[in-house]
């Protein structure tokens, strides 16, 4: 019945899609976005540099506290300055570009998954609109409700804007690559080049190096690089990208000369890749842990999602329709980002943020393929059989069950760990009472209850062999954890760590005499600079 309604009423499908994306994006990225003060030390550096750009009208050279700030290119500062002009100088405006970038990315991810499955149905001559919509909706929810996306989608720094531009560019490339119509191809490829320019203006050369690496590996693997590059009109596209991104670099170098070149290209790009910067070193397995926790609780499904692609069967994938290669593209996207930053000497958790949307697509396609009824998918290996009244590929049924039980163990361990969080977290000199406040609030206990309840529900689903709700349990569990535990914890942290700085700044402003200069001695808190200049 639902299938008939969605299939026969496209307006209903569009309305449901918009409402779903607004709901999950609103909860994940916009809910209480500006209710918590800026977090030292990185976020207020961006906020104040953008404020000085907004106040002075100098849109070329970023400044912080009257000193040049060459850490990142100008797009994030431009976006925050524009937000200031609309919303005023406040926390909402600082974080709005990150939230909008995250929202745009999950929306394009939703569209890409649904288009891929619609094309698959067309090739198989089957109509399954409900499966298409549910798989895309689940993929967007997994993408939104994952720790890394939540953290950086709510933080006023350049990371999510980079990922929004770069990962959206990769999705636009695939949509152009897979389109049967040359006119539609051209439009998606144009969007790809424009978004790459945005990525370059957000974080520099990495904005084009990483997409080129991923697309290059993908095309070389399939052996169609020459034909695809020709249809992309590569030289024309690169000219568009350079025309959009290069002028600012020319102007900032013209104005600041070698200081900018050595600081940005030398220190913040080359040295970060070839040597340890700011003591951000880590062992080779660092990003395995980051993905395990940063994509939790869905990360346990990634090995199965990758293995069932049988990516080593090159002949098989080369024989497939382009539109059927989304899983392979997402896999190489994931591996390309993971491998690049594993090789890099400087390591930070945020560096692998660009692979999280690819991970969400892999998990969503796994679920869409496993739990569909009817005929076998193009390119799928294994027969479809009845298990507990549900159609599940026999070649993946056993791995699915075992992965489900691993998920139960993982959620149980997460739940137990939550009870001991106040004892496990380190002390912060800037928030000496936070551990005590957290224990008194009971939030860690509530978090443990949420994850243990999810583990029990998941175990019951596995015992009954009703596999469809498995991933949704993880999504709902994370959403509940975000709303009832994580957000109140952030308010506690803000009260303990940042509120005293705001109160101190207010006292300093009241006591300041005309033409008297305020100087921080013995500590460095960029938030104070932002607050004092704002008042």
Is 182 domain-assigned? Answer: yes
pTM, to two decimals: 0.91
Looking at residue 270, what is its pLDDT? 59
Residue 109 has a pLDDT of 97
Q: What angle do CA 94, 73, 265 make, to 5 degrees?
A: 145
Provide the pLDDT for residue 477: 96
Separation CA 439–CA 496 (nearest Å): 14
To which residue do tokens 């600012």 refer?
Answer: 248
- CB proximity list for 516: less than 8 A, separation 6 or greater: none
Secondary structure letter of residue 521 according to DSSP: -
Residue 414 located in a structural domain: no
290 vs 356: CA distance, rounded Å? 11
Res 69: pLDDT: 86
Confidence of residue 391 (pLDDT cuts 50, 70, 90): very low
The DSSP string of 53-101 is: HHHH---SS-EETTEE--SS-SHHHHHHHHHHHHH-SSHHHHHHHHHHH
What would the two tokens of residue 483 be? 């709303």
In a domain, residue 306? The reply is yes
pLDDT of residue 473: 94
Taking the CA atoms of residue 505, residue 510, residue 514 and residue 516 in that order, the dihedral angle to the nearest 10 degrees is -40
Mean model confidence pLDDT for the chain: 87
Judge whether 218 lies within some domain. yes
pLDDT tops 60 at residue 386: no
> How far apart, in whole angstroms, are the C-alpha atoms of residue 426 and residue 442?
18
Percent with pLDDT over 90 in the chain: 62
Q: Which of 250, 164, 177, 237 is nearest to 207 (CA)?
A: 164
Q: How do residues 177-210 score in pLDDT, each as one tens digit? A: 999 888 999 999 999 999 999 999 999 999 999 9
Instruction: Report helix, strand or coil for 517.
Output: coil
Each residue's pLDDT tens digit, 265-301: 655 555 555 555 556 667 888 999 999 999 999 999 9
Cis peptide before 253 (omega within 30 of 0): no
- Nearest CA to 172 out of 124, 220, 267, 241 is that of 241
Q: Is the pLDDT of residue 383 over 50?
A: no
Q: Quote the pLDDT of residue 271.
A: 57
Residue 102: is its pLDDT beyond 80? yes
- Report the alpha-carbon angle 446-450-451, nearest 5: 120
What is the enclosing helix (H) or strand (E) of 130? helix 129-144
209-255 pLDDT tens trace: 999 999 999 999 999 999 999 999 999 999 999 999 999 999 999 99
d(CA 395, CA 385): 9
DSSP label of 146: S
362 assigned to some structural domain: yes
Residue carrying the six token digits 């070193």 = 281
**Which residues does 434 contact at the CB level (< 8 Å), separation at least 6?**
428, 492, 493, 496, 497
Structural contact between residues 170 and 210, judged by C-beta atoms closer than 8 angstroms:
no
Are 417 and 424 spatial neighbours (Cβ–Cβ below 8 Å)? yes
Distance from C-alpha of 281 to C-alpha of 288, rounded to nearest angstrom: 15
Average pLDDT over residues 59-80: 90
- Residue 269, number of CB atoms within 10 A of its CB: 16
Q: Is the pLDDT of residue 369 over 90?
A: no
- Residue 91 gets the label, from left (phi > 0), alpha (psi -120 to 50) or beta, of alpha
| Residue 387 DSSP SS3 | strand
Burial category of 283 from C-beta neighbours within 10 Å (exposed 0-12, middle 13-18, buried 19 and up): exposed
Whether the pLDDT of residue 508 is over 70: the answer is yes
> Which range of residues forms the domain containing residue 354?
2-37+94-381
pLDDT band at 387 (very low <50, low <70, confident <90, very high): very low
Tell me whether residue 129 is in a domain: yes
Whether 507 is in a domain gets the answer: no
Per-residue pLDDT band at 6 (split at 50, 70, 90): low
Who wins on pLDDT, 78 or 495? 78
Does any domain span residue 106? Answer: yes
Mean pLDDT of 520-531: 78
């Amino acid at each position: 019945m639902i299938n008939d309604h969605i299939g026969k009423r496209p307006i209903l499908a569009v309305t449901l899609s918009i409402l779903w994306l607004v709901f999950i994006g609103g909860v994940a990225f916009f809910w209480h976005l500006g209710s918590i003060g800026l977090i030292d030390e990185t976020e207020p550096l961006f906020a104040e540099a953008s404020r000085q750009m907004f106040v002075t009208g100098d849109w070329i050279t970023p400044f912080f506290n009257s000193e040049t700030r060459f850490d990142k290119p100008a797009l994030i500062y431009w976006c925050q300055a524009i937000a200031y002009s609309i919303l005023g100088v406040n926390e909402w405006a600082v974080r709005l570009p990150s939230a909008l970038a995250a929202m745009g990315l999950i929306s394009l991810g939703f569209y890409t998954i649904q288009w891929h499955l619609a094309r698959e149905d067309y090739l198989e001559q089957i109509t399954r609109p409900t499966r298409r919509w549910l798989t895309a909706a689940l993929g967007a929810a997994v993408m939104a409700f994952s720790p890394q996306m939540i953290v950086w989608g709510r933080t006023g720094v350049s990371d999510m804007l980079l990922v929004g531009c770069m990962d959206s560019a990769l999705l636009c490339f695939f949509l152009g690559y897979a389109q049967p119509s040359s006119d539609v191809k051209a439009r998606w490829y144009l969007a790809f080049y424009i978004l790459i320019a945005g990525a370059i203006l957000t974080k520099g050369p990495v904005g084009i190096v990483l997409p080129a690496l991923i697309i290059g590996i993908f095309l070389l693997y399939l052996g169609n690089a020459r034909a695809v590059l020709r249809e992309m009109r590569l030289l024309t596209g690169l000219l568009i990208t350079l025309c959009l991104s290069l002028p600012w670099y020319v102007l900032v170098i013209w104005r600041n000369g070698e200081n900018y070149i050595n600081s940005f290209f030398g220190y913040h790009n080359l040295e970060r890749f070839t040597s340890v910067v700011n003591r951000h070193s880590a062992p080779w397995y660092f990003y395995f842990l980051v993905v395990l926790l940063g994509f939790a609780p869905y990360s346990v499904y990634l090995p199965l999602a990758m293995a069932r692609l049988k990516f080593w069967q090159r002949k098989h994938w080369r024989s497939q329709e382009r539109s059927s290669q989304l899983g392979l593209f997402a896999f190489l996207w994931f591996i390309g980002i993971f491998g690049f930053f594993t090789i890099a000497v400087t390591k930070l958790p945020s560096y692998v943020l660009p692979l999280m949307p690819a991970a969400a697509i892999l998990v969503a396609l796994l679920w869409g393929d496993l739990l569909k009824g009817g005929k076998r998918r193009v390119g799928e290996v294994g027969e479809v059989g009845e298990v507990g009244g549900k159609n599940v590929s026999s070649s993946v049924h056993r791995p699915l069950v075992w992965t489900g039980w691993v998920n139960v163990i993982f959620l149980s361990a997460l739940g137990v760990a939550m009870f001991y969080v106040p004892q496990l977290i380190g002390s912060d000199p800037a928030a000496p009472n936070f551990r005590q406040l957290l224990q008194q609030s009971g939030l860690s206990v509530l978090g443990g209850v949420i994850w243990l309840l999810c583990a029990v529900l998941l175990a019951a689903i596995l015992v009954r062999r009703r596999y469809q709700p498995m991933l949704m349990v993880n999504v709902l569990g994370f959403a509940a954890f975000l709303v009832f535990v994580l957000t109140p914890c952030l308010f506690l942290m803000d009260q303990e760590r940042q509120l005293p700085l705001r109160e101190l700044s207010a006292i300093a402003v009241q006591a300041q005499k005309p033409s008297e200069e305020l100087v921080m001695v013995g500590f460095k808190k960029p938030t104070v600079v932002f607050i004092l200049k704002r008042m």
